[in-house]
Structure 1
Amino acid sequence: MKQRGRHRRRRRGQALRATLAGTALALTAAATLISTSQATSSGSPGALSRLSDSSQTARLSLQENLVAPSTLDTLTRRMGGNVGVAAVLDSADHSMRNEDDCAGSERAALPEEPTATRAYCWDGADAKARQWLPRSVTTSGDAYEDSTWGDHRVILAGWTHENQQAADDHRTGGPTRDDGLARVAFIDATDPHALTYRHALLVAPKDGGKNFEAVRSQLGGMVWYQDKLIVTARNGTALLAFDLRRILRTDVNSAAIGRVSGGYSADGYQYVLPTIGSYDLTGDTCTAGDDRAAPCFGSLSLDRTSAPDSLVATEASTPGGSDHARVWRYPYSTAPDRTGLLAAGYQGRVGASEVYVTKASGVSGVLSHTPAGTSETDWYVAQAPSGDGRHGTLWRQTDSGADVATCTADQSRACWGLRTASLSYWQETDELWTLTGTAAADTASGRVLYAVPLSAVDSSLE
């Protein structure tokens, strides 16, 4: 599948890279009054501290638990077979609005330094839904180096349902039944001027594959690598794995989730993505804000510059708090029969290969990247403010210091997006992707999916 149309896609990718590179250069030339905040500056998280104590790193170990292939095969067969990512994209029933069509309150959520080169707003219903919240983002640029899945360029956005503002939720069954449901928006980004999408519900097989149930997940982070999608579980207690080759179609449209009279239903969603396994912490139950306990997963990202490619994880932390957050990575497997899965050793154990501590609080996303020709890894840390209505801060940390852009308008550091989520780097186009509006209150201030060239981020710091 990956060979079809490869040369045509490469030419299209080269043209897009050229356009984005020109935009990034224009942004760099226009940037003024940008300063660098070093590790000694007030409020800076300073340098990352490497954590090498084996008793500490052991708390990050995972146990891989995969669903039996026979269970997955049974569910796939009973639901008529895999329909594929392309089928979801081709049946898109929502359109994203380009930046010019976004409301002023939505555009106000975009970063001030550096400026976004691409920005999109959700359709009317998703822009205003107070209980469904956007949480995470990953792309086909994470999945494969040529950035495509078949003939499509794809962005996935994770949404979770939270029990808030019950009066505004008019769906059958109410918020109690829906609380914690997780869905993924499959966004067709092949035409950068006309993005469309459709949601698929996350589910878990049961009864040997004869049935399924809802997955309850916060979706604080997710990474699409090769043919697998790994997401954070509910309350950050584990990671869940899904196979993009096993997207299934429901045949009954009802509020029920699972097998019903006449077939299968998923609360009105036409497509479901069943989990194929989990990665569970092997130590104590995670405890947020306790650096002596196992950390609760906050967000996830992919690092293609590590060897091997790795899944980067962050610890959930509270904005404005005094607790330090851990950031670490797990290596992906290089075995041909384990595409998209983590590198599991004896009895399915997965160990963290590198662990650091950042003094930044309220970490909403972290990306690690080693520039070509260098040996020092940059860690981009998105920090949420402690007060409502304020933009976030994007730090670049290493083991020797920390840098940050200063906003041109008010000389503050709150230059990043408004309540942003996880970070994802599209290496082919040098785009750093994230989304805003991760709280119910943000339906009034804007939910935006946007991209900033990583080169522009670096230029604003130098």
Structure 2
Amino acid sequence: MRRFWLPVLVAVSLTSTPAVAAPDQITERDGSAFALTADWSLDAKAAALTTELGTRRPVPEVLGSANRSTNSCSDSRKQAQPEHYDRTDLPLPQDKILHSSARFCWDEGDSLVSYWVPQGVSGSSDADDDELWGSDRVLLVAWYHDKGKAGTPESHGVRISFVDRNTGKYRHVLLAEPVSGTDFKPVPIHAGGMAWLGRYLYVADTSRGIRVFDVERILEVSTSRDDVMGLSGGSYYAYGYRYVLPQVATYKQAVVPASPCSPQAGALCFSSLALDRSTTPDSLVVGEYRDGRSTDPAVDGGRVVHYPVDATTRKLTLSGGKAVPRTTVTTPKTNVQGVQTWNGRYYLGRSSADKHSFLFAGNANAPMTTYSWAVGGEDLYYEHGSGLLWTATEHAYNGSGEVIDKRVVFGVPLSSMS
């Protein structure tokens, strides 16, 4: 659903006046207001839960228990890809039509379920230098739960699809927030962006900041009840899911906007996340979704912020106890759901409802180039070995509730946007 924009490696004065982005270029700006406070207090609770349950399971075991299979995609789902761009209202030349070179689709139940919606994307290329987790090539997709469409009294939170790219099989794992050393609850966030850094999975929490989960503490629970989350009657459950992924930390901004998040001069809306391995050190890229432009330079355009990542711990680097932005920019494009940066270049994936949209690419302080993009494209994830920029599309239905069946996960060569 909603998201944000991209960063660049240029020194920025912390006292500079925010600049309104030019009509078609990314503009550097002050990001000092967007420092984050790290809170790792949940780590001890997650450790206690791990001991209490005694069911810690490594990622290869989760993949080995995969109970669903991806497929090669129906014609309807393939049509969501950028090579099938067919808009006559906003035509593009053939050399600006992107072509996917890899793709997969979900099993029928996940492709058409209305109350679980794909959002954030990451994978083992983010997690480790060799692009593998152990010997497995893994792609992760986050789905948020819409309790209104599901008809449930509370949100079931977020599930993460662990997709084995070698076998094409996958399994969903539910995010869990420890409330004590003996219990946990769902994580009812939008999960618009995601990045996997070593043992830690960073997930966007739109108003608050970033939540962090520990993939080395995946816990197995009972599947005999689908109506409860946490401890009940001496057993642990996760709405029928077999595994939970516990939260261990939060990076929280000083000002927390009310929900739904509305960007403020001193606060971001955390809509997308990506890892940029081309910077030194690596950077966590936060992008901000905006519906439109503003005449107020403090909030104009979607902000994109780079936070440096510690090379050893894979936590955000702290200065004075806070994660301080390395660079911040304003982007002039609206409805950007996913942002990735690489070698100082920004890639902005714009969203759409039931039409193809656009991917914008360019450097800071220079005009951007417009390319074709997906129907309902979401978060962006760059596989640095294969050179593919991945996204997941979200729409199974249009705004009127009619089936359009457009969910697909695909990658396009980053070199085609050079």
TM-score by length of 1: 0.77
Which has the larger displacement, 131-140 or 389-398? 389-398
Which residues of 2 match residues 160-239 of structure 1 at below 5 A?
Answer: 160-164=144-148, 166=149, 169=150, 174-177=151-154, 179=155, 181-190=157-166, 194-207=167-180, 209-233=181-205, 235-239=206-210
TM-fit CA distance, 1:69: 4.4
Specify every segment of 5 or more residues in structure 2 that has no aligned partner in the other structure, as ranges: 1-21, 84-96, 295-299
Q: Distance between the aligned counterparts of 2:396 and 2:28, measured in 1?
A: 32
Hey, what does 2:361 align to over in structure 1? Answer: 396
Hey, what does 2:10 align to over in structure 1? Answer: none
Q: Distance between the aligned counterparts of 1:105 and 1:68, measured in 2?
A: 43
Q: Distance between the aligned counterparts of 1:72 and 1:48, measured in 2?
A: 40
Change in CA separation of 1:251 and 1:163 when aligned onto 2, cut-off 3 Å? closer
Which residues of 2 match residues 83-162 of structure 1 at below 5 A?
Answer: 83-98=57-72, 102-112=73-83, 113-162=97-146
Hey, what does 2:29 align to over in structure 1? Answer: 51
CA contact (8 A) 2:351 2:378 kept: no
Which residues of 2 match residues 306-455 of structure 1 at below 5 A?
Answer: 306-318=279-291, 323-334=300-311, 336=312, 339-346=313-320, 348-370=321-343, 377-385=344-352, 388-405=353-370, 415-438=372-395, 440-441=397-398, 444-455=404-415
Identity of aligned residues (%): 30
TM-superposition CA deviations, 1:317-348 (whole Å, max 9, x none): 12x555511111101123x4xx22111233x3
Pairing 1:251–2:225 present: no
One-letter amino acid of the counterpart of residue 261, structure 1? G
CA contact (8 A) 1:145 1:427 kept: no
Change in CA separation of 1:240 and 1:285 when aligned onto 2, cut-off 3 Å? same
TM-superposition CA deviations, 1:37-85 (whole Å, max 9, x none): xxxxxxx942211113xxxx23211010003544222200111142111
CA contact (8 A) 1:97 1:123 kept: yes
CA contact (8 A) 2:193 2:274 kept: yes
TM-superposition CA deviations, 1:254-295 (whole Å, max 9, x none): 121001124211100000000001010023536845452411
Q: Distance between the aligned counterparts of 1:120 and 1:222, measured in 2?
A: 19
Greater share of helix: 1
Q: Distance between the aligned counterparts of 2:192 and 2:278, measured in 1?
A: 23
CA contact (8 A) 2:43 2:247 kept: no
Change in CA separation of 1:350 and 1:438 when aligned onto 2, cut-off 3 Å? farther
Hey, what does 1:263 align to over in structure 2? Answer: 235
One-letter amino acid of the counterpart of residue 232, structure 2? V
Q: Distance between the aligned counterparts of 2:152 and 2:23, measured in 1?
A: 39
Q: How many residues align?
A: 375
Q: Distance between the aligned counterparts of 2:160 and 2:397, measured in 1?
A: 18
Q: Distance between the aligned counterparts of 1:389 and 1:314, measured in 2?
A: 23
Aligned to 2:32, the other structure's residue is in SS state: helix
Q: Distance between the aligned counterparts of 1:225 and 1:440, measured in 2?
A: 33
Q: Distance between the aligned counterparts of 1:392 and 1:245, measured in 2?
A: 37
TM-superposition CA deviations, 1:389-410 (whole Å, max 9, x none): 221111112123233346xxxx
Change in CA separation of 1:236 and 1:68 when aligned onto 2, cut-off 3 Å? closer
CA contact (8 A) 2:229 2:236 kept: yes
CA contact (8 A) 1:253 1:266 kept: no
Q: Distance between the aligned counterparts of 2:403 and 2:119, measured in 1?
A: 14
C-alpha root-mean-square deviation of aligned residues, in Å?
2.1
Q: Distance between the aligned counterparts of 2:395 and 2:379, measured in 1?
A: 10
CA contact (8 A) 2:56 2:217 kept: yes
CA contact (8 A) 1:58 1:283 kept: no
One-letter amino acid of the counterpart of residue 313, structure 1? V
TM-fit CA distance, 1:379: 0.4
CA contact (8 A) 2:112 2:405 kept: no
Hey, what does 2:3 align to over in structure 1? Answer: none
One-letter amino acid of the counterpart of residue 91, structure 1? S
Change in CA separation of 1:252 and 1:108 when aligned onto 2, cut-off 3 Å? closer
Q: Distance between the aligned counterparts of 1:341 and 1:158, measured in 2?
A: 21
Specify every segment of 5 or more residues in structure 1 that has no aligned partner in the other structure, as ranges: 1-43, 371-376, 407-414
Q: Distance between the aligned counterparts of 2:177 and 2:218, measured in 1?
A: 12
